Structure 1
């Protein structure tokens, strides 16, 4: 169990607590940052993203076409390129999602005007033009400096189709498929590391049982070969949330034939058929979403415990390649498009989730928030030629200092945030030291009305001062709009000080703070 997990038990994720804390009372948290310990590397790939052919994620969000009046590079919006590069986006997962297991890669290559129009059966039965295909996606990744993460079609495809896609992408020799790639405009093969052998095969990827999927994986993955020096990380479809039976069966039957196992978990706080609105909510809805986002900790603990039995050396990575909040679609938009507003509450979920991933970095080596533009907990929203950055975007931008840094174990005793008869920790925190030796501390206070004074002993950190930024808002559902782009944006934070070997932070209510300690 991680240090964060232990701190959660200290304050209690349970429904009972010894006393209720009034919002007017001063709250305090205490802890220790172990700068003299190595807690593992926080892979930059924990800050990954996801783009599916769904709603306006690809078309209008990323892709406008080369003849668009919206400024673009090769058909991709320039404003979106700049925004994502600013995040140091490490990887991008495509083409799905559910779309992946009905996607046939040959439909998306060759002259655009000769590509077939198909039906997106999962998302509104909309017509898919296939204007954005393999070459367009990989060109986007090159523009962003991001690693591509491809999801192969197991649900409706064949081993031959998957095998041919890999040859088309990665073979440098004189073969029919390599020459077809050259004919289509890309002389040299691409470097493809991450390759998913199916997606959500327990659901939209084929409604399979774990035993059946595991056998299919063994068959399909056998033809996913390393060609021309390219080395694949083959990702098996893992559980839907905390499904121990799926994890156990797949680990037992596939074992070392995979290099990673995926896991999908969304924050809903409601049944699938009764999702909550993204804005206009009360404190009960704030609490429910924040509380349920913390369930990621137990899911990771339980999944890792199963994986450890079959893979004690931790050779197989755990990829949380779909996560985030899921609400009702915005009024006036089709439900299948999954377009939702993004508020300060989502910033809380982002900060909490990233802190949890940091604490599990030994096994969790990739995470992909869903999705990058105009879908679910998006980084970016677009409307015609306009673009806005969401509160979640700003958390990712503030937290990018942790990418590929050394995690510093952080023990934290947090006060409770109580609502009704339930209680959760008010504060979450994480710390790391980057390659230049700078120490960064990220803190989240989910209490909607009470500030928290956080005091952390600095063990092995010779800090002389602290600077940072804060993200907060005036309302629980504070969010950015196309008429107010900066309602929720990071601002300079002066509420931290260092002295007598400790860090003291006056952490505002409903806020995310990231600090840099000057040594």
Structure 2
């Protein structure tokens, strides 16, 4: 029997910001060096040291923003070390990630050049943990102030006459941990202080993001919201910060030290992973509920600027580099996350997967031996979902209860979907998380007609399947004929462990 659902095509929901499809690049392992940046002497095709095949692949995703330089690294990074002639830049030790030395050849100008090549907005995480208010204030001036000023002259001396537009600024990172081990109360005061001295210059209006909670720490969120206004405040006009972040990772293993393998897992571990991934709905709902108490007008944004799967590193790799493979399981985690993001689009204004290249749940893996570039299954979910960016979300209601299964003490709903409308086209995303059993879905389309549809499917023979330099297309999307539409009803057959997108003109 088919699962029945209703989609009201003509009833607008919140707009799905393109920034929910954001990315994250930290100085960690081979994300920047060996991923984005190969250096100006590399034999790999590049422009000013920036690897061109990686840039081209990310352009295909319409990547909206890129967060940098961390992560934990942000709070030990001093931006002046990364400007000026490369041979004069000081070497530093990356104490958080592997204890390796960094030559600072990838700094502010290189990052801004990367964002320009990608067509992405920069999201810069400033140093609150070991930096100073003056340091961050001058970085804002260096990047965004036109005319004549000390930092503008320094930028011009380093080869950039005009300022860059940089809206998004993070006031530190994980202040409760690697960003300073602060209490919420202490960090709230620091955020107000740092935010005060991050100035708007010209037409560049900053959107300042306070370092928010770890997972379900709703008390941290409440402490930050109290700094912005009293309970029930209808409209908050903050000059200190405009949004709060939260971090949530999908974990599977029994302990932090044993997170489980990215590729060698059984079905039970798969379902445990999907239960952990599904908890993102609870996390976002909890923080939104706290924020609603202080900001019912929803003028303050919620930013999930680190999310994704976190498994053990691949055998034989540096444990501080967080290099893991990426299977069909990771793709299904991404697909269900996006369904949740779309439902929270009234409060959630940005999300950044951790991380873009060679780290954790990456879009792209580069092989240091063959220099090959591999697109991961997660990459393909981002590409299949491109049409949701800046689209109008559409509510999907189940008429019959979707299938579910017990996983330990939890119940996992195994069919997930979301929908949007943009430029006269409908896009529906559907996931079947059941490892072994197919599902049939019948959706009544109300308030709009779709005559024909096009469908893509991402699946493979095994949940553990992944792409490698030797088999780069083991898990890749293909056209799919298992979706039909007639008489105002759309019918989709979803094979076990599959992600499907359906699009059509309205």
TM-score by length of 1: 0.93
Deviation at 1:211, TM superposition (A): 0.1
Deviation at 1:460, TM superposition (A): 1.1
CA shift digits 1:124-175 (9 cap, x unpaired): 1110110000000000000000000000000000001011101111110211
- Given that residues 76 and 140 in structure 1 are in contact (C-alpha distance below 8 angstroms), is that contact kept between their aligned partners in structure 2? yes
Deviation at 1:517, TM superposition (A): 2.4
Classify the secondary structure of the residue corresponding to 1:38: strand
Matched, 1:267 2:253: no
CA shift digits 1:398-442 (9 cap, x unpaired): 0001110100111133111445675311110000001x2100100
The 2-side partners of 1:485 and 1:125 are apart by 32
The equivalent of 1:232 in structure 2 is 206
Matched, 1:330 2:317: no
- Given that residues 394 and 421 in structure 2 are in contact (C-alpha distance below 8 angstroms), is that contact kept between their aligned partners in structure 1? yes
The runs of 4+ residues in structure 1 deviating greater than 4 Å are 418-422
Greater CA deviation, 459-468 or 161-170?
459-468
Matched, 1:147 2:121: yes
The equivalent of 2:352 in structure 1 is 368
Classify the secondary structure of the residue corresponding to 1:239: strand
Matched, 1:251 2:225: yes
Deviation at 1:463, TM superposition (A): 1.1
The equivalent of 2:13 in structure 1 is 39
Give 5+ residue unaligned stretches, structure 2.
Answer: 230-237
Matched, 1:495 2:469: no
The 2-side partners of 1:47 and 1:421 are apart by 31
Query: Closer, same or farther in 2 for the Cα pair 1:421/1:40, shift >3 Å?
Result: closer
State which of 501, 504, 511 in structure 1 corresponds to 2:491: 504
State which of 41, 45, 62 in structure 2 corresponds to 1:88: 62
- Given that residues 424 and 505 in structure 2 are in contact (C-alpha distance below 8 angstroms), is that contact kept between their aligned partners in structure 1? no
The equivalent of 1:356 in structure 2 is 340
The equivalent of 2:329 in structure 1 is 345
Classify the secondary structure of the residue corresponding to 1:454: strand
The 1-side partners of 2:409 and 2:299 are apart by 42
State which of 379, 382, 388 in structure 1 corresponds to 2:366: 382
Give 5+ residue unaligned stretches, structure 1.
Answer: 1-26
The 1-side partners of 2:101 and 2:397 are apart by 52
- Given that residues 218 and 254 in structure 1 are in contact (C-alpha distance below 8 angstroms), is that contact kept between their aligned partners in structure 2? no
- Given that residues 262 and 325 in structure 2 are in contact (C-alpha distance below 8 angstroms), is that contact kept between their aligned partners in structure 1? yes
The 1-side partners of 2:419 and 2:140 are apart by 39
Structure 1 vs Structure 2 CA RMSD:
1.1
Classify the secondary structure of the residue corresponding to 1:195: strand
Matched, 1:393 2:379: yes
The 1-side partners of 2:380 and 2:349 are apart by 22
The equivalent of 1:432 in structure 2 is 420
- Given that residues 297 and 356 in structure 1 are in contact (C-alpha distance below 8 angstroms), is that contact kept between their aligned partners in structure 2? yes
Matched, 1:222 2:221: no
Matches within 5 A, 1:8-157: 28-157=2-131
Deviation at 1:212, TM superposition (A): 0.3
The 1-side partners of 2:122 and 2:140 are apart by 13
The equivalent of 1:423 in structure 2 is 411
Classify the secondary structure of the residue corresponding to 1:161: helix
TM-score by length of 2: 0.96
The equivalent of 1:20 in structure 2 is none
Classify the secondary structure of the residue corresponding to 1:135: helix
Greater CA deviation, 262-271 or 178-187?
262-271
Classify the secondary structure of the residue corresponding to 1:165: helix
Classify the secondary structure of the residue corresponding to 1:33: strand
Deviation at 1:176, TM superposition (A): 1.8
Classify the secondary structure of the residue corresponding to 2:10: coil
Classify the secondary structure of the residue corresponding to 1:486: coil
Classify the secondary structure of the residue corresponding to 2:326: coil
The equivalent of 2:137 in structure 1 is 163
The 2-side partners of 1:254 and 1:105 are apart by 29
Deviation at 1:445, TM superposition (A): 0.4
State which of 436, 440, 452 in structure 2 corresponds to 1:465: 452
The 1-side partners of 2:365 and 2:432 are apart by 26
Greater CA deviation, 493-502 or 107-116?
493-502
- Given that residues 252 and 311 in structure 2 are in contact (C-alpha distance below 8 angstroms), is that contact kept between their aligned partners in structure 1? no
